[in-house]
Amino acid sequence: MGPRVYKATVATPPSEPTPDLTTERVRSGRWKALVVLTVASVIVGALLWKPWDQLSPVPTSPPVVGAIPTPVHTSPATTLPAPIAGVGPTPLIEHPPPPTTGAPQEDASTYDAPDDLGSVTLDAGGGVYVRCYYNTAQAPQLAQVEVFGPVITTAAGAAGSRLSAVSWTAVLESNRESKFFEADWQQLDKSATRTVSVSGPGDVWFKNARINVDAHQLPPDALLRVTELVSWTGAHGRRLAQQSLVAREYGLGAEPYRVTTDGCPATEAG
């Protein structure tokens, strides 16, 4: 009898059951659906609750007295062009008022008479209206003043028809240079009054007048000027108007004379 042969039998463990794939997919899909549903519920609840409306507003600080205000930004101002060097604003030109009765008038050569009676022209034919003559002493002193006669023009119409005569007088007045702006002008002498009868419109020419001056009776700083008195006379010697006109230019000494607007000094400096 031969050897006994034993045949080993290997026991195979029981195989685990194979899961059903279809069943697993169904479980995974439900889980995802559950997550989506939960998230949607949270979002819907937040929208209904509106927790941001429950937040307290941020308190604002009360205004502080003296605090610097917040600058307001505005459009930039228009920039003006820079001024041109040496060019200033256009000055205003003031015209002198017309002459009035009884008050001296300066800085003009023709003056209108009141009430449209006519006009007075102080014309020296291109020269100065008043000439101041001095003696030949070492310190020349004023000896004579010559005043050119005015031209009086009488008006036409009703105003001019009221005139019967016009007259003119040259008045010599004195002042002192040291008190020029303090003292009033005082009458020193005058020429004879010259009267011319008129009838209707036209021009009346008066001759020059000469007034002698005694400078020894004057202070060294005396200053003399000439004032014109023009009278407009109506019927029966009734004065209709009178003008007082101050001569504006003076010629000092012999030719070529020196021109000044101040007047004739009693002593010529040079």
d(CA 113, CA 98): 9
d(CA 82, CA 235): 67
Residues 152/167, Cβ–Cβ less than 8 Å: no
SS3 246: strand
Enter the pTM of the model: 0.58
Q: Which of 57-66, 88-97, 120-129, 186-195 has the lowest mean pLDDT?
A: 88-97
CATH topology of domain 104-265: Immunoglobulin-like (2.60.40)
pLDDT at 250: 94
pLDDT digits (tens, 9 = 90+) for 168-187: 999 999 998 877 667 789 99
pLDDT above 50 (res 149): yes
Query: Domain limits of the chain?
Result: 104-265
Model confidence band, residue 10 (pLDDT cutoffs 50, 70, 90): very low
Q: Which residue in 143, 140, 267, 266 sits closest to 212, CA to CA?
A: 143
Residues 101/111, Cβ–Cβ less than 8 Å: no
pLDDT above 60 (res 262): yes
How many C-beta atoms lie closer than 10 Å to residue 73's C-beta?
6
pLDDT above 50 (res 254): yes
* Intra-chain end-to-end CA distance of the chain, in Å: 188
